[in-house]
Structure 1
Amino acid sequence: MSNWRIFRGAAVPHDGIDQLPDPPPWRDFRREGATTTPFDRERHEGSARRLPRASPYYADDQVVEAVNTALYLRRPLLITGEPGAGKSTLADAVARELKLGTVLRWPVNSKTTLRDGLYRYDSLGRLEEAGAARRADGAKAAEPAAHEADGAEKTGAARNDTDLGRYVSLGPLGTALAPYSLPRVLLIDEIDKSDLDLPNDLLDVFEEGGFEIPELARSADQQRDVDVRPADGGSPVRVRSGAVRCEAFPFVILTSNGEREFAPAFLRRCVRLALPSVTSDEKRLNAVVRAHLPDAEKSAAELVRRFKEHGESGELATDQLLNALYLVSRTSSQGAPSTENLTKLVFQHLQTTVLDQE
């Protein structure tokens, strides 16, 4: 096996990410003296979450080489393919094999903005707490015998109000761009369903390897270092002067169902991978069956054939084949539906009209 492969598609966790070479000079975001956010490769400190579940994934040479190219170049991986082709589960496979912790997931729709992925600022919460503190101070000030204690209360209230980290939390993209020593895995799902501006908005973030939180930058003269909450519940991320900048560029997977085209400026900054139709590749289907249901492989031939036939007239996903195989293997001796009825129930096309369903 080629030694250049950090990700091997072997589904066995290893420390190969430690052998990843230094990034190209134009993709090197490391800074001397930067504060690195603590990160436990086996699990996140302070979080109940663990490594991604051991979900089998069939990664052929094309997929493995695309993943490694993105890792080496520190570029996002844009994966295009039909629903059910395995675009999203690849993120779990990479995170588990390279022991990079939980996958940060950012599902996208037409109303999603860049800021949704970067951070949230609870301005209303801050105003409410500041108002409550002022009311409490006013009540204390009305008690002459408590002036000295009141002064201490005011100081405490002011200190709490200026602790801006209490009102800021990072989104999945913002967390991925935090200064971790190892790349985090970020899944930006269905980028083709986004507003037209979002892919272009992502360009600056990907090129700079970071972003600014204006609410923290404006108060940097009063509080330069602020600890904020990451999206995954791990250790707090220290933000200096409102700037978040990665140390290791995250491994980013962007998925697309091919429903729209992207601008050349966006495409040239991504490593691109087009997954073939699952229904047209019998070798791939058999490999998926072996990975998920090895005990059912002997009885899979007939269902794989029917799956391919149904796929010629409409869109199907591999999990439909796995569902059918599971039912056959678990109910064959319990009066299960015939194979014909089973395929009608499970192999229903993903894009159908009400009339088709009737």
Structure 2
Amino acid sequence: MRFEGTQDYVATDDLKVAVNAAVTLRRPLLVKGEPGTGKTVLAQQIARAAGAPLIEWHVKSTTKAHQGLYEYDAVARLRDGQLGDPRVHDIANYIRRGKLWKAFTSPALPVLLIDEIDKADIEFPNDLLQELDRMSFDVYETGETVAARERPIVVITSNNEKELPDAFLRRCFFHYISFPDRETMQAIVDVHFPGIDKRLVARALEMFFQVRETPGLKKKPSTSELIDWLKLLMHEEMPLSVLAEKDVRKSIPPLHGALLKNEADVQLFERLAFLSRRG
């Protein structure tokens, strides 16, 4: 397959190269970037472009690597044994298949998303090294070996909350999704809002990038937050005059709750607007 983006996802040239290189090598594609830059959506769009099933494994702080392979429910087997359930005689009835097992045995070549791998314990990536290399693992309770029919397309996302081990990085093809420039952002907006007033977009983008470039900002607004903000501006039928003040240091943006996500940043803009009025 060749990934060229989709009608709902604007992929830059370097992102297309990264996806196609990872697919060719059948190496996991490790994608990093600011939250809200479309890392998770990328896996969904790759699956859509390839007509492949998508298997999603959303990692949490408590997630362990073995859960991606399988889990043996000994408690359920003990309970069924006490109740005289004949299922207890077959231990396979108590093996829960994990996301890697499902990807390895999928009838069609799947896209496997391991989302936000940096949320888990530092040993989590290392514990998956052998399985991602061999594309197989052993089920010790039943004595069987689960092997991939064909190496799945693996997309791994990270928000850089933790450094990943070098041995793990060596097995991946890496790509960092840079924050979109204004031209790319315009294309993204056009995909989400075809036919939107170009003057509204031009003014909104100018204010949006000014917000991002404000010194001292704790959390810069992301692409997804811009989309939410534009959706609100359109829903409220916000007149262009409201966006007439192009300098965000003089006037806090309307519906700023879609862009600013903590009180320190809101207070920063309130202080800037206050100082501007005093001046």
| TM-score by shorter chain over 0.5 | yes
Deviations 1:282-341 (A, max 9, x none): 1121111011111225131111111111111341111111112112223227x8994454
1:88 aligns with 2:23: no
Relative to structure 1, the CA distance from residue 248 to residue 181 in structure 2 (aligned partners, 3 Å threshold; closer, same or farther) is farther
Q: Retained in 1: the 8 A contact 2:65–2:128?
A: yes
Question: Are the equivalent residues in 1 in contact too, given 2:37–2:179 (CA < 8 A)?
Answer: yes
Q: 1:272 aligns with which of 158, 170, 174?
A: 174
2:107 is equivalent to residue 111 of structure 1: no
Give the stretch that moved more between structures: 196-205 or 163-172: 163-172
List alignment gaps of at least 5 residues for structure 2: 244-251, 268-279
Partners of 1:118 and 1:78 in 2: how far apart? Answer: 20
* Number of positions where the alignment pairs a residue of Structure 1 with one of Structure 2: 254
Q: Displacement of 1:209 after TM fit?
A: 0.2
Distance in 1 of aligned mates of 2:197 and 2:14: 24
Distance in 2, Cα, partners of 1:211 & 1:337:
62
Amino acid at match of 2:153: F
Asked if 2 retains the 8 angstrom alpha-carbon contact of 1:186 and 1:251, the reply is yes
Partners of 1:337 and 1:170 lie apart in 2 by 57
Contact 1:66 1:273 survives alignment (8 Å): yes
2:233 pairs with 1:331: no
One-letter amino acid matched to 2:47: A
Deviation (angstroms), 1:9: 1.2
Instruction: Give the alignment partner of residue 191 of structure 2, picking from 291, 301, 304.
Output: 291
> Does the 8 Å CA contact 1:210/1:244 hold for their aligned counterparts?
yes
* 2:161 alignment counterpart: 259
Give the conservation status (yes or no) of the 8 Å contact 2:117–2:156. Answer: yes
Tell me the amino acid that sits aligned with residue 210 of structure 1. Answer: S
Relative to structure 1, the CA distance from residue 302 to residue 337 in structure 2 (aligned partners, 3 Å threshold; closer, same or farther) is closer
* 2:21 corresponds to 1:69: yes
**Residues 75 and 244 of structure 1: is their aligned pair in 2 closer, same or farther, counting only changes over 3 Å?**
same
TM-score after normalising by structure 2: 0.83
Q: 2:274 aligns to what?
A: none
| Aligned equivalent of 2:74, options 96, 114, 123 | 123
Residues 324, 342 of structure 1: 8 Å contact kept: no
Q: Find the structure with the greater CA-based Rg.
A: 1
Q: What CA distance in whole angstroms lies between the structure 2 residues aligned with 1:337 and 1:256?
A: 40
128 and 206 in structure 1: CA distance in 2 versus 1, 3 angstrom threshold: same
Q: Deviations over 1:137-176 (max 9, x none)?
A: xxxxxxxxxxxxxxxxxxxx3xx32333321221222211
String of CA shifts for 1:107-153, please: whole Å, max 9, x gaps: 2233221112221221111112122218xxxxxxxxxxxxxxxxxxx
CA–CA distance in structure 2, aligned partners of residues 183 and 196 of structure 1: 29
- Structure 2 residue aligned with 1:246, among 143, 148, 162? 148
Give the TM-score of the pair, scaled to structure 1. Answer: 0.66
Q: 1:337 to 1:165 in 2, by over 3 A?
A: farther
Question: Which stretch of structure 1 is more off in the superposition, 267-276 or 163-172?
Answer: 163-172
Q: Distance in 2 between matches of 1:131 and 1:260?
A: 45
Q: Which residue does the alignment assign to 1:347?
A: 259
Contact 2:34 2:179 in 1 (8 A): yes
Q: In structure 2, the residue corresponding to 1:332 is in which secondary structure?
A: coil
Paired residue for 2:221?
A: 316
**Which residue of the partner structure matches residue 143 of structure 1?**
none
Matched, 1:162 2:114: no
CA distance in 1, matches of 2:167, 2:197: 45
CA-CA distance at 1:355 after TM superposition: 4.3
Kindly tell me: are residues 78 and 302 of structure 1, through their superposed partners in 2, closer, same or farther at Cα, counting changes over 3 Å? same
